[in-house]
């Protein structure tokens, strides 16, 4: 049997922070060669089967190095799929592995459907059906694991940043302490009012930056909260159903907040989406009708992504225009559905209303345009702010809560300094900031703060 070359991210169980982009098919080695730069002039097409090679993934269009990798080449038929297989081992977490996958896809591979490698193994006679089913279960576990690996890496970076901030606070407190208790130490820089406030402002700004990244962390953990809006009958339910059916549902164990909405988790080209379906949408009821204007505003406010659906076969109505207005500050993809029917919508006006938002035309009935929509979703996510900024992601709600408290404490210190309150009051607020940040990284404080101060600075020895 002959199939095209497919690729996907597959992370092995029981290994550390490594993610694998796997290719299978006739052109697997050829495609990998286009983006692989090994040592010297090594080409993967020339290497023996079942060997592993060190090198870099380089974007052939820009010459930019994307990842440091180990590449395994396995030739048919002694492979899992009985086709040529290449595995690109990346260690840079979810985002760099996704960049490698994107490169593989732009250089000739097709994104594998969930379980497609297994399906090939089955079709090529490599495994039987019960084995295929067992592997499918494993695949599900692997996807969750890939997510966890990426998240734990991010948390490592978070701890490092928090430690740096705590160190700053500690040094600041040490200076204050020296000024209070050891006025004779004139070789220690005097902590002036101005310096104290500078340090406190710095700490506050850094906490703010971390809190800003928590939005993206939330996206990774919970999925991009996606709300489908549109007038009745434009195709919202049909859209939800095609997204769910085209993509593998993500299994999650996120602790249930009180939910009066139905949520579907799907993985759209590596982007975890949490499709929020207010209880009514499925039953062809309008979100506003079903849960009231106030509630639907709340749902909208929490959304990371809005899919605004219009009907190609009807003229725009004032209600459509109101929907544009309601989501004007958000990330929106405009979907003009029912292109199988005659055009009645004014596309010029749609473009005017949409501004910079992507517009995708679909016929959900004929299953057309769904690829384009998925492409729009994934490029919004992967080429957006998230990839450009090299941020640390705060994803844990306990961490987020502690960061908010720490921010409050340092702000109290700042207003205290500004109001000229006694320095030991300011110390209390800064100490509390330090402790709250410590709780995030789980540092158990055996010694008192003062002990720590002195062990760090060896004062008065």
- Binding-site residues sit at 22, 87, 126, 233-238, 252-258, 277-280, 461
- Interaction of residue 229 with ligand GDP, rule CB under 6 A: no
Q: b/e for 71-109, b at 16 or more Cβ within 10 A? A: bbbbbbeebbbbbbbbbbbbbbbbbbbbbbbbbbbebbb
Report yes or no: 363 and 369 within 8 Å, Cβ to Cβ.
Answer: yes
Task: Give the separation between CA 94 and CA 57, rounded to whole angstroms.
Answer: 15
**Binding test (CB under 6 A) with ligand GDP, winner from 112, 234, 271, 370:** 234
With respect to ligand GDP, which residue has the nearer C-beta, 123 or 365?
365
Helix (H) or strand (E) holding 336, with range, is strand 332-337
- Interaction of residue 337 with ligand GDP, rule CB under 6 A: yes
* Number of residues binding to ligand GDP, judged by CB under 6 A: 16
- Stretch of 17-25, 166-174, 190-198, 338-346 lying at the interface with ligand GDP (CB under 6 A): 338-346
- What residue numbers does the annotated binding site for GTP cover? 233-238, 252-258, 277-280
Task: Give the separation between CA 343 and CA 357, rounded to whole angstroms.
Answer: 21
- Interaction of residue 284 with Zn ion, rule CB under 5 A: yes
> What's the chain's Rg over C-alpha atoms?
27
Tokens representing residue 301 in the block: 């406010």
Q: Helix H segments across 333-390?
A: 347-354, 370-382, 385-388
Nearest-CA neighbor of 377 among 316, 456, 304?
A: 304
- What residue numbers does the annotated binding site for K(+) cover? 233, 252, 254, 257
Tokens representing residue 398 in the block: 């306990």
Which burial class, exposed, middle or buried, applies to 262 when counting CB atoms under 10 A from its CB (0-12, 13-18, 19+)? Answer: middle
- Interaction of residue 237 with Zn ion, rule CB under 5 A: yes
- Interaction of residue 308 with ligand GDP, rule CB under 6 A: no
- Stretch of 100-108, 233-241, 247-255, 262-270 lying at the interface with ligand GDP (CB under 6 A): 233-241
* Closest approach of Zn ion to the CB of residue 297, in Å: 20
With respect to Zn ion, which residue has the nearer C-beta, 217 or 235?
235
- Interaction of residue 208 with Zn ion, rule CB under 5 A: no
- Interaction of residue 236 with ligand GDP, rule CB under 6 A: yes
* Closest approach of ligand GDP to the CB of residue 286, in Å: 7
- Interaction of residue 243 with ligand GDP, rule CB under 6 A: no
Which residues in this chain contact ligand GDP in the complex, by CB under 6 A? 230, 232-238, 284, 337-338, 340-341, 363-365
């Amino acid at each position: 049997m002959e199939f095209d070359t497919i690729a996907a991210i597959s992370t092995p169980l029981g290994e550390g922070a490594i993610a694998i982009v796997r290719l299978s098919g006739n052109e697997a080695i050829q495609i990998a060669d286009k983006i692989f730069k090994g040592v010297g002039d090594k080409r993967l097409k020339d290497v023996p089967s079942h060997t592993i090679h060190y090198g870099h993934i380089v974007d052939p269009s820009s010459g930019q190095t994307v990842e440091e990798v180990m590449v395994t080449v396995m030739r048919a038929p002694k492979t899992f799929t009985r086709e040529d297989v290449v595995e690109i081992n990346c260690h840079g977490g979810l985002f760099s592995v996704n960049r490698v996958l994107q490169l593989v896809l732009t250089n000739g591979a097709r994104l594998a459907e969930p379980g497609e490698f297994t399906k090939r193994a089955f079709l090529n006679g490599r495994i039987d059906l019960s084995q295929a089913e067992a592997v499918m279960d494993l695949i599900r576990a692997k996807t969750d694991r890939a997510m966890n690996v990426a998240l734990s890496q991010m948390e490592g970076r978070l701890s490092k940043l928090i430690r740096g901030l705590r160190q700053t606070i500690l040094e600041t407190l040490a200076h204050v302490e020296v000024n209070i208790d050891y006025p004779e130490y004139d070789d220690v820089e005097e902590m002036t009012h101005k310096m104290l406030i500078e340090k406190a402002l710095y700490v506050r700004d850094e906490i703010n930056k971390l809190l800003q990244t928590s939005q993206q962390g939330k996206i990774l953990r919970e999925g991009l909260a996606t709300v489908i809006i549109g007038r009745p009958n434009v195709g919202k339910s049909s859209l939800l159903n095609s997204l769910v059916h085209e993509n593998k549902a993500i299994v999650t164990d996120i602790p249930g907040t009180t939910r009066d909405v139905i949520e579907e988790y799907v993985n759209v080209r590596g982007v975890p989406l949490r499709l929020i379906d207010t209880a009514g949408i499925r039953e062809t009821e309008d979100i506003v009708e079903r849960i009231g204007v106030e509630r639907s505003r709340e749902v909208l406010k929490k959304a990371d992504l809005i899919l605004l659906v219009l009907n190609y076969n009807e003229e725009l109505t004032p209600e459509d225009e109101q929907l544009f207005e309601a989501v004007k500050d958000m990330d929106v993809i405009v979907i003009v559905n029912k292109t199988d029917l005659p055009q009645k919508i004014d596309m010029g006006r749609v473009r005017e209303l949409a501004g910079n938002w992507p517009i995708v035309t679909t016929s959900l009935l004929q299953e057309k345009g769904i690829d384009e929509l998925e492409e729009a979703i994934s490029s919004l996510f992967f080429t957006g702010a998230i990839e450009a900024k090299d941020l640390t992601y705060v994803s844990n709600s306990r961490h987020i809560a502690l960061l908010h408290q720490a921010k409050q404490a340092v702000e109290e210190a700042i207003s205290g300094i500004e109001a000229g309150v006694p320095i030991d009051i300011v110390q209390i607020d800064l100490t509390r900031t330090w402790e709250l940040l410590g709780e995030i990284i789980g540092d158990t404080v055996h010694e008192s703060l003062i002990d720590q101060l002195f062990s760090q600075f060896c004062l008065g020895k």
